[in-house]
């Protein structure tokens, strides 16, 4: 019997980061949240794709650029179908891309709340003298490890 208890924690953020943008309706800097939908616009053979964000105060929209003036042939057909059908997993992945958001807007509000899914990989807790914890991230997060363990 193994004396090592192995557990995998899969960490997934709960709340998507929100870009802080000057809202042209509110007239002040406001947080925007993703509505989980893409806007796909074709102009000839060129395609633009945006993830739509809404002001949390007045519901004004802002488009987060995913592709701009990309040739249709340069986009994988499966990816294009996912964008056109508003694939929820793809929208989530883009909504949680803090680096890309910061590249377009500069200031982003992040949240420390995460879901942790725990799975036993082997060993038993009764006979274990060592705990081996494996962390897996669904996507990059800004939560410090000491806060996660606390």
pLDDT at 145 > cutoff 90: no
Name the residue among 63, 65, 60 with its Cα closest to residue 23: 60
pLDDT at 1 > cutoff 60: no
Whether 101 and 60 share a structural domain: yes
Whether 117 and 90 share a structural domain: no
Whether 75 and 138 share a structural domain: no
DSSP state of 15: S
What is the Cα–Cα distance from 73 to 25, expressed in whole angstroms? 38
For the chain, what is the domain count? 2
Name the residue among 33, 14, 31, 7 with its Cα closest to residue 141: 14
Whether 56 and 78 share a structural domain: yes
Whether 46 and 100 share a structural domain: yes
Whether 122 and 90 share a structural domain: no
Whether 80 and 41 share a structural domain: yes
Whether 102 and 33 share a structural domain: yes
What would the pLDDT profile of 68-126 be if each residue is shown by its tens digit?
A: 999 989 999 999 999 999 999 999 999 999 889 999 998 999 888 888 889 888 766 56
Domain containing residue 135: 1-15+113-150
Whether 118 and 100 share a structural domain: no
């Amino acid at each position: 019997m193994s004396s090592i208890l192995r557990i995998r924690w899969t960490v997934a953020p709960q709340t998507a980061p929100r870009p802080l943008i000057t809202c042209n309706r509110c007239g002040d800097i406001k947080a925007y949240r993703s509505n989980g939908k893409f806007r796909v616009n074709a102009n000839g053979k060129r395609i633009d794709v945006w993830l739509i964000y809404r002001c949390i105060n007045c519901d004004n929209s802002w488009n987060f650029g995913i592709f701009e003036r990309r040739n249709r042939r340069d986009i994988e057909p499966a990816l294009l179908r996912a964008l056109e059908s508003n694939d929820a997993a793809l929208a989530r992945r883009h909504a949680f891309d803090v680096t890309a958001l910061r590249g377009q807007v500069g200031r982003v509000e992040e949240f420390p709340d995460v879901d942790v899914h725990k799975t036993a990989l082997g060993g038993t807790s009764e006979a274990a003298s060592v705990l081996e914890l494996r962390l897996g991230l669904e996507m990059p997060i800004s939560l410090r490890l000491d806060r996660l363990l606390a």
